[in-house]
Amino acid sequence: MFVLVRAATYSTLFIGLLLVFLPARVLAWSGVVRPAAFGPIELVGAMVSVGGAAMAIWSILTFVVVGRGTPAPFDPPRRLVVRGPYHFVRNPMYIGAVLALGGAAIVYRSLALLAYVLLFGGSTHLFVVTYEEPTLCRLFGADYQAYRSRVHRWLPGL
């Protein structure tokens, strides 16, 4: 139960800062306001955002239940997580976050927010390649190497 509380706390802080506060600052800085009407483009953006958020939440819950840990690098899962969304792609939590932000960029029709999405995605890629993957190799050894050879980093395989 305590791991769920830790995961909720870390996730809320991460989501609050990187996926709500900073994007809101980007929108305010660029002068973008809430769309006056909610048409087909906004509906597509909202669906992308909701789908991304659902994927991220599913990923976090899988970390808690299967891995007995949290998404925070300083409190990682105790077991290698290869089930749930991690069965299809190695980084579904980050993909979900990028989709949620990208959907918001569509809803607001904001190039500034799209630039933030690209910066966030690029930073995430660098973090994964330079920190997460080497750390997982060290912690889980051959199990992670086998998982890595079966499952793609960003795009689900067939």
The one-letter amino acid code at 2 reads F
What is the per-residue pLDDT for 34?
82
pLDDT tens digits for range 49-102: 999 999 999 998 898 888 887 787 777 788 999 999 999 999 999 999 999 999
Report pTM. 0.87
Q: CB of 67 within 8 A of CB of 80?
A: yes
Per domain, the residue ranges of the chain are: 2-150
Q: CB of 113 within 8 A of CB of 23?
A: yes
What is the per-residue pLDDT for 158?
67
Neighbours of 91 (CB within 10 A): 22
The one-letter amino acid code at 39 reads G
pLDDT tens digits for range 5-54: 766 777 777 777 777 888 888 888 888 888 888 899 999 999 999 999 99
- Token pair of 72 as six digits: 């925070």
What is the per-residue pLDDT for 9?
76
The one-letter amino acid code at 17 reads L
pLDDT tens digits for range 95-129: 999 999 999 999 999 999 999 999 999 999 999 99
